[in-house]
Amino acid sequence: MRSQINVAVIGFGTVGSGVVTILMQNADVIARRVGVPVNLLRIVDVDITTDRGIVVPAGVLSTDLQATLEDPSIDIIVELIGGSDIAKHVMVSAIAQGKQVVTANKALLAIHGEDIFEAAARASVDVGFEASVGGGIPVLQSLTRGLSANRVSSVMGILNGTANYILTQMSTERQGFQEALNLAKACGYAEADPTFDIEGIDTAHKLAIMINLAFGTPVNIKDISTEGITGLTTLDIDYAKELGMVVKLLGIAKLYDEQVEARVHPTLVPQTSPLAQVHGVYNAVHLVGDAVGDIMLYGQGAGSLPTASAVVSDVIECARNVLIQASGTIPALSFQRNQRRPLRLRPMEELMSAYYLHFMVLDRPGVLSQIAGILGAQGISIASVLQRGRQEGQPVPVVITTHRALERAVQTALHEIHALSNFVSEPTTLIRIESQE
Amino acid sequence: MRSQINVAVIGFGTVGSGVVTILMQNADVIARRVGVPVNLLRIVDVDITTDRGIVVPAGVLSTDLQATLEDPSIDIIVELIGGSDIAKHVMVSAIAQGKQVVTANKALLAIHGEDIFEAAARASVDVGFEASVGGGIPVLQSLTRGLSANRVSSVMGILNGTANYILTQMSTERQGFQEALNLAKACGYAEADPTFDIEGIDTAHKLAIMINLAFGTPVNIKDISTEGITGLTTLDIDYAKELGMVVKLLGIAKLYDEQVEARVHPTLVPQTSPLAQVHGVYNAVHLVGDAVGDIMLYGQGAGSLPTASAVVSDVIECARNVLIQASGTIPALSFQRNQRRPLRLRPMEELMSAYYLHFMVLDRPGVLSQIAGILGAQGISIASVLQRGRQEGQPVPVVITTHRALERAVQTALHEIHALSNFVSEPTTLIRIESQE
């Protein structure tokens, strides 16, 4: 039996600081769970002089990445650099040295996951990546272990705290998108360049990882239809409220007839839905399995300590496996590698969904009947119509919700309606509705 | 590498039928996750003639428990008999034969857990018991793995679907307790003898298991203060609503200064709390760790298939471990056995809580001031007073909520108030309030 397990943390930023804090402050609890101490042997960063408010033992800080990756006394490498180039190098080099690896890097996994998991399987090492989806919420282990007896049919969630914070502010404080984004930056909830968060890219990365584990299929991130929240207005959020719904940025993946539907977009959900109750920077994941029914997991999806909580839980898992010499034996992607099967990703135009359509039309007689006629001709059934404010000859909003319809038909109808450009004055806002209809 | 893993299910009742259904219907998915087929070799029950609507392969059904326990070709024994005597025999015998064991039996574990885990540790076999708390919700693995980096400070939850269904009916349909209980029985949500569910005993069993995993301490079920929901009236539920709260039967355990507070009782929670949104037979568990912050897990806490989902996830875990010959290596109770430490269980009188007190008093001048005076003398600060309906000289309800106070002081005050029996006409209803105050 080994007398301790040695860990190196690569990247001493926000999450790295959280990991270092937990490994030091909770060393006793961790040792009681693992059986031997989990020792923080090395922290590597290009900057080891900035004061991060954490006192680390002498000799732990280093700038020498390569020496750390090659140090035979290190059992587990924790990659927290972010980005995908050096991060991939760290992962692949550590795996080649037979070390267990842990990462929180969803972009890395969504883009280079196949290479990394292939290398890890060959080297029989563990890849821990619980922190890559849902921060501290145990989402991935719920798919890999908790729901392993199920045919999972749906994974859906609020996977980005920045976007959810902005939408919550827009909804509860009636702030505009830009104002809410600025506040998110001021509070440290949004990065200087928030593109990945507000354009849905971060959500798509996380969804891709969940699809792998839930459905046992590889997925190309480029094939996931991804739409962000930058086009949303408070007007739409107000109309949503009037319709008994709230707008959330959801990542949604479902399995139908051995085909995968995968998409990221602003979504209207009923106010009574558990997802509607998820406010601010909180995340939530909703899973459906044939045996378990529906499960929801809720918690802080980002931030230094919550994310580090998941990272260190993976370190503990790796440490337990090193001790019993069982590393690399539980399939990282839940399905055995030779049992993964490429499934067809349905194109967006095949989606069946209910829709919210917000038209700006000139207030003239007959306009509504023309719109309704075009929708009807495409087989789209109207569920409700809201028309507020009247100004003869001026643009007024008309909000129509539909029953479930084919995306292709809806896009065709919108195209036709806009072709009749004599009464539609602005681009139409389309928001998909997720309900149990 | 073994070519298959053999499982025997002992007890072909509600959960047993669910387990058999999943093992047969999802055999392909399970094999893709484990690497080899998980084969249902035997189902043992005293009754193998009743039609349960499931076609099982010839030769699988048996009444011979002992032969099954001793069959060397069986790797995993699933105990689903219920009760604690024969169930314990099944578990201990199977462990003695070196088999992995899985159970959904919380009463068994709450009462005989120490013996069973001790025997399993000696024999180096796995004990799977995820299904014993929260049905299909992955509660226990979240404590053992997901939150393993944390000092857990609080576990709290709606752990009994029957009681939650009754409280939901009382709240939304304004049914009385007995009417709601009868409906629960008619819907199959309550057993013929619902004592364990409505008296909080089942919740206490589950709480005891969670305390073990969360705090690394053994706990004697008899030491958990346990109060059921039989004394609740619709009047109290109406007053709760007026105060912006709902009544839930909660199991609550917290760690303070290396002491454990553990209790089961009807509890008022704010309508805005996530736990307040848990309706009907759903369960939810709220966990707090120093790194992760707060996490909530939500889903179906009972029923044949949801419970079986957790049972079979444990079977899969055991099967993976048998294949890699790593059985019994991850500590079943999250902490290593020699690292568990008996912690003092705080007696109820040391509890600090806010309280809801519903007095029935004769409507006479000066009564409220006498009550307030006695509360004040005990250092109890009043947060709100509700007094509805006036009938001079007749009993009327007076509802008082308090700020956080010591349980001992509250009980003493109630004793004194009742001693002045000239104006208190009926026993006082006390409900503890769980809020973030």
- What integer is the mean pLDDT of A51-71? 95
Which member of A33, A277, A309 has the closest CB to residue B335?
Answer: A33
User: CA nearest B291 in A: which residue?
Assistant: A305
Query: For residues A73 and A188, which has the higher predicted lDDT (pLDDT)?
Result: A73
Is the Cβ pair A147, B141 closer than 8 Å? no
Is the Cβ pair B335, A293 closer than 8 Å? no
Min CA distance, A399 vs chain B (Å)? 30
Probe site for chain A from B273, B313, B322 (most A CB atoms < 10 A): B313
Min CA distance, B417 vs chain A (Å)? 42
User: Could you tell me the CA-to-CA distances from A17 to A194, A314, B132 in Å, in that order?
Assistant: 22, 16, 37
Which member of A31, A295, A300 has the closest CB to residue B299?
Answer: A295
Which member of A151, A300, A329 has the closest CB to residue B26?
Answer: A151
Query: What's residue B436's pLDDT?
Result: 64
Q: Which residues of B touch A323 (CB under 8 A)?
A: 329
- What integer is the mean pLDDT of A240-245? 95
Query: What's residue B18's pLDDT?
Result: 97
Is the Cβ pair B150, A35 closer than 8 Å? no
Average pLDDT of chain B to the nearest whole number: 94
Q: Which residues of B touch A292 (CB under 8 A)?
A: 136, 299-300, 305-306, 309-310
* pLDDT-above-90 percentage for chain A: 86
User: Could you tell me the CA-to-CA distances from B61 to B9, B11, B40, B45, B412 in Å, in that order?
Assistant: 10, 11, 10, 8, 60
Is the Cβ pair B138, A145 closer than 8 Å? yes
Is the Cβ pair A339, B130 closer than 8 Å? no
Probe site for chain A from B28, B33, B147 (most A CB atoms < 10 A): B33
- Please say if B206 is a catalytic residue: yes
Check if the interface score ipTM surpasses 0.90: yes
Is the Cβ pair B335, A290 closer than 8 Å? no
Q: Which residues of B touch A317 (CB under 8 A)?
A: 145, 148
Query: What's residue A436's pLDDT?
Result: 64
Which H or E run contains B197? helix B195-198
Min CA distance, B242 vs chain A (Å)? 21
User: What is the 3-state secondary structure of chain A?
Assistant: CCCCEEEEEECCCHHHHHHHHHHHHCHHHHHHHHCCCEEEEEEECCCCCCCCCCCCCCCCEECCHHHHHHCCCCCEEEECCCCCHHHHHHHHHHHHCCCEEEECCHHHHHHHHHHHHHHHHHHCCCEECHHHCCCCCCHHHHHHHHCCCCCEEEEEEECCHHHHHHHHHHHHCCCCHHHHHHHHHHCCCCCCCCHHHHCCHHHHHHHHHHHHHHHCCCCCHHHCEECCCCCCCHHHHHHHHHCCEEEEEEEEEEEECCEEEEEEEEEEEECCCHHHHCCCCEEEEEEEECCCEEEEEEEECCCHHHHHHHHHHHHHHHHHHHHCCCCCCCCCCCCCHHHCCCCEECCHHHCEEEEEEEEEEECCCCHHHHHHHHHHHCCCCEEEEEECCCCCCCEEEEEEEECCEEHHHHHHHHHHHHHCCCCECCCCEEEEECCCC
- What integer is the mean pLDDT of A20-37? 97
User: CA nearest B292 in A: which residue?
Assistant: A306
A315 pLDDT higher than 60: yes
Min CA distance, B152 vs chain A (Å)? 10
Q: Which residues of A touch B32 (CB under 8 A)?
A: 216, 335-336, 339
Is the Cβ pair B305, A295 closer than 8 Å? no
Q: Which residues of A touch B315 (CB under 8 A)?
A: 149
Q: Which residues of B touch A296 (CB under 8 A)?
A: 296-299
User: CA nearest B33 in A: which residue?
Assistant: A335
Min CA distance, B188 vs chain A (Å)? 18
Q: How many interface pairs between A and B have CB atoms less than 8 angstroms apart? A: 212
Min CA distance, A285 vs chain B (Å)? 10
Of B88, B106, B206, B248, the active-site residue reads: B206
Is the Cβ pair B293, A130 closer than 8 Å? no
- What integer is the mean pLDDT of A140-168? 97
* pLDDT-above-90 percentage for chain B: 86
Is the Cβ pair A32, B294 closer than 8 Å? no
CB neighbour list of residue A237: distance below 8 Å, 6 or more residues apart: A167, A170, A171, A174, A246, A247
A84 pLDDT higher than 90: no
The C-alpha atoms of residue A56 and residue A69 are separated, in whole angstroms, by 20
Question: Can you list the residues of chain B whose pLDDT is less than 70?
Answer: 421, 436-437
Probe site for chain A from B9, B156, B295 (most A CB atoms < 10 A): B295
Q: Which residues of B touch A300 (CB under 8 A)?
A: 292-294
Are the CB atoms for B203 and B160 separated by under 8 Å?
yes
Q: Which residues of A touch B317 (CB under 8 A)?
A: 145, 148
The C-alpha atoms of residue A104 and residue A137 are separated, in whole angstroms, by 13
Q: Which residues of A touch B150 (CB under 8 A)?
A: 22, 26, 29, 309
Min CA distance, A428 vs chain B (Å)? 35
Query: What's residue A437's pLDDT?
Result: 46
Q: Which of A300, A70, A343 is nearest to B150 (CA)?
A: A300
Probe site for chain B from A25, A78, A137, A145 (most B CB atoms < 10 A): A145
Q: Which residues of A touch B339 (CB under 8 A)?
A: 31-33, 35
Which member of A29, A146, A310 has the closest CB to residue B141?
Answer: A146
Are the CB atoms for A318 and A128 separated by under 8 Å?
yes
Min CA distance, A313 vs chain B (Å)? 5
Probe site for chain B from A76, A283, A295, A322 (most B CB atoms < 10 A): A295
Is the Cβ pair B29, A294 closer than 8 Å? no
Probe site for chain B from A28, A304, A313 (most B CB atoms < 10 A): A313
Is the Cβ pair A293, B274 closer than 8 Å? no
**B150 DSSP 8-state letter:** S
Is the Cβ pair A291, B298 closer than 8 Å? no
Is the Cβ pair A334, B33 closer than 8 Å? yes
Read off the pTM: 0.95
Min CA distance, A270 vs chain B (Å)? 14
Are the CB atoms for A89 and A114 separated by under 8 Å?
no
Of A99, A206, A248, A254, the active-site residue reads: A206
